[in-house]
């Protein structure tokens, strides 16, 4: 039997990589992808808990997490498109109008 801890550990590692990637990368598309990575890591952890605690609540939550993630990806990409139309580039550290 694979202990629960291993699954959680795996989930944590992926989450961490996603977090670091989100902070370190410049390209907005890659940042959105990292967000999806983080959300998926959390999904894994939820399913693992649901399996080991023999409770379906975790899986219900995964449903909603997935749907929200999809919605958020859509909106994020729409914003990205709008930004690209105005600025012709997608570097996150050049988008500093909210400075100050």
Partner 1 sequence: MLPQIIFGYFAIVMTVLSVLIVTRKNPVHSVLWMLVLFFHFAAIYLFLNAEFIAAVQIILYAGAVLVLFLFVIMMLNLKQEVSGERYIGEWPIAVALGISILLLIIFAITKLVPGPLGEYTIELIQKETHTKAVGKFLYTEYLFVFIIASLILLIAIVGAMVLAKKRA
Partner 2 sequence: MDKYILIPLLPLIGFFINIWFGRFFQAKCHWIPILAVFGSFVISVITFTEVVQGKIINYDVYSWVVSGNFKVSVGFLIDQLTAVMLIVVTTVSLLVHIYSVGYMHGDPGYYRFFAYLNLFTFSMLMLVTGNNLLQLYFGWEAVGLCSYFLIGYWYQKQSAADAGKKAFIVNRFGDFGFGLGVFMVFIYLGTLHYTDIFANLHTLQGQTINVLGYEIGLVTLIALLLFCGAIGKSAQLPLHVWLADAMEGPTPVSALIHAATMVTAGVFLVARFNPLFSMSETAMIVVALTGAITSLMAATIALVQNDIKRIIAYSTVSQLGYMFLACGVGAYGAGIFHLYTHAFFKALLFLGAGSVMHAMAGQLDIQKMGGLRKYMPITFFTFLIASFSIAGIPGLAGFFSKDEILWLAYNGGTVGKIVWVIGTIVAGLTAFYSFRVIFLTFFGKFRGTHEEEHHLHESPPSMTVPLLILAVGAVAAGWVGIPPVLGGGNWIGHFLEPVLGHPHVHGTHAEEWMVMGISVAMGIGGIFVAAVLYLWAPGLPLFFGRAFKSAYTVLWNKYYFDELYDYTIVRPTKWFARRILVGVTDAKIIEGIVNGVPKLIGEFGERLRKLQTGVLQHYEIGMALGVFVIASLVFIFAK
Tokens coding 86: 């105005």
Supply the minimum distance, in Å, between the C-beta of residue 90 and partner 2: 12
- Return the one option of partner 2, partner 1, none that residue 87 interacts with (CB less than 5 to 8 A, by type): none
Q: Does 88 bind partner 2 (CB under 8 A)?
A: no
Q: By three-state DSSP, how is residue 90 classified?
A: coil
Q: Which residues pair with 91 in a beta bridge?
A: 27
User: Taking CB under 8 A as the rule, does residue 7 contact partner 2?
Assistant: no
| 31 sits near partner 2 (criterion: CB under 8 A) | yes
Q: In whole angstroms, what is the distance from residue 71 CA to residue 64 CA? A: 11
In contact, 46 and 65? CB cutoff 8 Å? yes
Site for partner 1 contains 87 (CB under 8 A): no
- Residue pointed to by tokens 């550990």: 9
Contacts to partner 2 by CB under 8 A: 19, 22-24, 31, 92-93, 95-100
């Amino acid at each position: 039997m694979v202990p629960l801890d291993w699954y959680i550990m795996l989930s944590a590692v992926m989450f961490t990589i996603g977090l670091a990637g989100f902070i370190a990368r410049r390209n907005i598309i890659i940042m959105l992808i990292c967000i999806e990575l983080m959300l998926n890591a959390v999904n894994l952890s939820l399913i693992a808990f649901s399996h080991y605690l023999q409770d379906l609540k975790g899986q219900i939550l995964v449903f909603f997490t997935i749907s929200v993630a999809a919605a958020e990806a859509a909106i994020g990409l729409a914003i990205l498109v709008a930004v690209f139309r105005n600025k012709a580039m997608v570097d996150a550290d050049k988008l500093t109008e909210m400075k100050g």
